[in-house]
Structure 1
Amino acid sequence: MPAVSFVVPAKDEAAYLPDALASIRDQRTDREYEIVVVDGDSDDDTAAIARRYGAAVVDQRDPGIGAARHRGAQAADGEWLAFVDADTAVDPDYLDAMLAFVRENGLAAASSRCRMPGCLRATAMAATINHVFPRLGRPILPGFNCFVRRNAYADVGGFPNVPNEDTAFSRELARRYPTGYHPEALVETSPRRVERLGLTGTLVHYLRLDWRRLRDESPRT
């Protein structure tokens, strides 16, 4: 059994996926780990690229990013699951740093610092994730950078296939288990959504998704 399974959802990500997978492949660790890429019926070379980097490729069964993450978790064998997006690269010491951090602090899950290269809006978004998310009563662990113990993941039912699936998952997980943020481990993720929508537009986008999720979860009378 590998210590860690990296789960990477990807749909038409041929432009970004090589950097993400190279960063995972090149981890400086003696621990066993695996890469699982969940292919969302891509029209490009996503699946072929994944196999070229030694990843196991599984087909996404249901639409939605939550379903893709959960499908990857079901196919993975690791004691710990590291969810990383196809446009996110992790530092070479990410695996060992995150594993040591969660074990030393008795955590069931954690995220870490992120960097979004590019415009000032991207820097501001990264600052929000780095300085606001960890201070919430139930920290939000972004789906592009989420390190979680398998049995805790299973206990809360995994990522739900709803809008803002990572927020919903983080809140439910933190309701039952201790979670946190590694202050030094680092990932670099694409600022493409922020560049397209702007900082305000991106925050509004996620607030709308969260409102829809909460509305859908409200009991019907």
Structure 2
Amino acid sequence: MTSSSPGETHRPTDPDVSVVVPAANERDYLRGTLASIRDLDTAYAYETIVVDGDSTDGTRSIAAEYDTRILEQEGTGIGAARHQGALAADGEWLAFVDADTVLRANYLTRLLGFVEAEGLAAASSRCRITGPLRAKLMEATINHVFPRLEYPILPGFNFFVRRAAYERTGGFPNVPNEDTAFSRALARDYGLPTGYCPTVLVESSGRRIADHGLTGTLWHYGRLDVGRVRSGY
């Protein structure tokens, strides 16, 4: 493993973890995300891969300011972007982080220690959804409902999985609610242990709720889940 300190960048040839960030026109958020990844305080070696979804707002230039590998997305859909990043990754573990999600400095050390200690194939953690107060309902659902399901749903904005498990299950499918589909494949179809780390916290944007309201957001995800079921997942 390669040591690092906050603010130090590196691109290890044999990383323990590959952080995959799908980004399509994320100029307003991407710097915060990549800065938080850069500033991880960990002894684990990691690489950062940004999958650019044909952005026109300078997203790719922002990614180039950081120590990242930048891939031009092939095709469309966030599931496809996540999967493309995974296929290019070299790490034993894959961390999928959305372009509007910010990690704390202890994220990698604590989460990797947790999954290895608990013998998990994949995990997520607690989250804080920023923005309007009504975003707290979504936050509470992720923090208190998803972990208690028989087959826990791991949100795509913070999805940590062992590479071998990812490859065994085929990874993220390019269908609506791809994170739910992949979570269920891991836990239900393949019987792999998954869970939530209670000592790790990430912050993710509540911009959809701010733009469309809670009802509109719930309707959006409800329609996506219908699409997921119709796709056979």
With the shorter chain as reference, the TM-score category is over 0.9
Could you list the per-position Cα deviations for residues 144-186 of structure 1 after superposition, in whole angstroms to 9, with x for gaps in the alignment?
0000000100111010000000000000011220000001201
Instruction: Identify which of 3, 17, 21 aligns with 1:8.
Output: 21
Q: Aligned pair 1:178/2:193, yes or no? A: yes
- Alpha-carbon distance in 2 for matches of 1:50, 1:72: 14
- Alpha-carbon distance in 2 for matches of 1:19, 1:31: 21
Q: 1:23 corresponds to which residue?
A: 36
Moved over 3 A (4+): none
Amino acid at match of 2:195: G
SS at match of 2:231: helix
Percentage of identical aligned residues: 64
Could you list the per-position Cα deviations for residues 56-91 of structure 1 after superposition, in whole angstroms to 9, with x for gaps in the alignment?
001100100000000010111100000000000011
Structure 2 portions without partners, runs of 5+: 1-13
Q: 1:75 corresponds to which residue?
A: 88
Instruction: Identify which of 58, 81, 84 aligns with 2:71.
Output: 58
Instruction: Identify which of 74, 81, 87 aligns with 2:100.
Output: 87
How many pairs are equivalent?
218
State TM-score, norm by structure 1. 0.96
- Report the alpha carbon displacement of residue 106 of structure 1 after superposing the two structures with TM: 0.4
Instruction: Identify which of 222, 230, 233 aligns with 1:207.
Output: 222
- Report the alpha carbon displacement of residue 117 of structure 1 after superposing the two structures with TM: 1.9
- Alpha-carbon distance in 2 for matches of 1:203, 1:171: 20
Q: Aligned pair 1:143/2:156, yes or no? A: yes
Q: Aligned pair 1:43/2:60, yes or no? A: no
- Alpha-carbon distance in 1 for matches of 2:32, 2:231: 36
Q: 2:209 corresponds to which residue?
A: 194
Amino acid at match of 1:40: G
Q: 2:182 corresponds to which residue?
A: 169
- Report the alpha carbon displacement of residue 197 of structure 1 after superposing the two structures with TM: 2.2
- Alpha-carbon distance in 2 for matches of 1:7, 1:215: 27
- Alpha-carbon distance in 1 for matches of 2:231, 2:129: 31
Question: What is the Cα-based RMSD across aligned positions, in Å?
Answer: 1.0
Could you list the per-position Cα deviations for residues 182-203 of structure 1 after superposition, in whole angstroms to 9, with x for gaps in the alignment?
0120100000011122223222
State TM-score, norm by structure 2. 0.91
- Alpha-carbon distance in 2 for matches of 1:36, 1:178: 26
